[in-house]
């Protein structure tokens, strides 16, 4: 009996080892994933006409050498544009990111005064006031400050979607004191939670993308014309991060680097399989100028 059982037990252990090893390896290797076919399907779920065009405004800049955006790059001067986007529907608008006022901007300079375009800041404020809906890529001050550190916060919160994770960070560990959410203000936002993708508006879907921050997400937009955009927030600060699949080297932020690297790999793959899908990084000033020149991002808010 024992002689017959022993090989079976050994075989069983070997099978468990074979099943267990790839599963463990897969979990370790894949912190984050997304599927563009699923994203497109989710973006089609909400009925209605899709957007016609998208505008960008740069309202401030930070000057940091390239090596902070791209680990290992030469420390050459590099401009980080601070931007917000206006999605134009036939009858209304949606804002992607909310900008920030000069006081929040000053925090980022850490003692150094960096350019802030007050006129552009006013354009962002006007576009937020006029928008039907406001969404944010993540809970950092340069993206969410415009709906928190403003006298209009109560009014804007009522049409702004934040995720549960974004709200938690803003209440318990905000990037700067100016954007700390009080329980009272937090209760005025539209707070959502979702697993991987969420339909937001006609042609628009969120993709959960924790990494740069716990509450980071990407915003996919398909226009009526069929042109597609993927607003990746700060998954990469410069598109070289996507092109070269290299992360940041910025000691003042704490990222989930495994997830960020998975995102960069996914975006890099997309840029080759779906070259017509425009991957837009919030802070890449060279890309912003190029997309404006190509006419695929309008230069002003309407
Ligand atoms: Zn950020
Ligand atoms: Zn940012």
Maximum CA pair distance of the chain?
Answer: 87
- Which ligand does the CA of 250 lie closest to? 1
CA of 190 to the centre of ligand 1 (A): 21
Task: Give 188: exposed, middle or buried? Use CB within 10 Å, 0-12, 13-18, 19+.
Answer: middle
Each residue's pLDDT expressed in tens, for the chain with a length of 302 residues:
444 444 444 444 444 444 444 444 444 557 999 999 999 999 999 999 999 999 999 999 999 999 999 999 999 999 999 999 999 999 999 999 999 999 999 999 888 999 999 999 999 999 999 999 999 999 999 999 999 999 999 999 999 999 999 999 999 999 999 999 999 999 999 999 999 999 999 999 999 999 999 999 999 999 999 999 999 999 999 999 999 999 999 999 999 999 999 999 999 999 999 999 999 999 999 999 999 999 999 999 99
CA of 77 to the centre of ligand 2 (A): 18
Q: Give ion ligand 2 contacts, CB < 5 A.
A: 140, 142, 234
- Which ligand does the CA of 81 lie closest to? 2
Which residue has tokens 């092109």?
243
CA of 24 to the centre of ligand 1 (A): 31
The domain ranges of the chain are 34-293
CA of 5 to the centre of ligand 1 (A): 59
CA of 203 to the centre of ligand 2 (A): 24
- The CATH class that applies to domain 34-293 reads alpha beta
CA of 216 to the centre of ligand 1 (A): 8
CA of 138 to the centre of ligand 1 (A): 7
Q: Do 235 and 260 form a contact (C-beta atoms < 8 A)?
A: yes
- Which ligand does the CA of 209 lie closest to? 1
pTM above 0.75, yes or no: yes
CA of 183 to the centre of ligand 2 (A): 24
């Amino acid at each position: 009996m024992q002689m017959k059982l022993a090989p079976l037990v050994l075989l069983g252990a070997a099978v468990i080892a074979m099943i267990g090893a790839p599963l463990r390896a897969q979990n370790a290797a894949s912190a984050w994933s997304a599927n563009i076919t699923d994203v497109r399907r989710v973006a089609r779920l909400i009925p209605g006409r899709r957007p016609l065009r998208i505008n960008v405004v740069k309202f401030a800049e930070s000057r940091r050498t390239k090596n902070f955006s791209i680990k290992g790059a030469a420390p050459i001067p590099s401009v980080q544009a601070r931007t917000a986007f206006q999605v134009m529907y036939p009858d209304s608008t949606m804002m992607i990111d909310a900008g920030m006022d000069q006081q929040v901007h000053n925090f980022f300079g850490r003692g150094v005064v960096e350019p802030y375009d007050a006129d552009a800041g006013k354009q962002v404020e006007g576009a937020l006031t006029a928008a039907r809906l406001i969404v944010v890529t993540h809970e950092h001050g340069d993206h969410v400050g415009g709906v928190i550190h403003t006298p209009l916060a109560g009014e804007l919160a009522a049409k702004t979607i934040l995720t549960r994770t974004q709200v938690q960070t803003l209440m318990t560990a905000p990037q700067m004191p100016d954007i700390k959410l009080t329980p009272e203000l937090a209760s005025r936002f539209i707070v959502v939670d979702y697993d991987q993708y969420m339909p937001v508006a006609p042609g628009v879907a969120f993709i959960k993308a924790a990494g740069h921050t716990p509450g980071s997400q990407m915003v996919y937009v398909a226009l009526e014309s069929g042109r597609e955009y993927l607003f990746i927030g700060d998954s990469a600060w410069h598109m070289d991060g996507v092109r070269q699949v290299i992360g940041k080297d910025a000691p003042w932020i704490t990222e989930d680097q495994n997830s960020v690297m998975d995102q960069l790999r996914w975006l890099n793959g997309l840029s080759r399989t779906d070259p017509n899908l425009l991957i837009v990084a919030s802070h890449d000033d060279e890309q912003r100028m190029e997309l404006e020149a190509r006419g695929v991002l309008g230069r002003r808010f309407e």
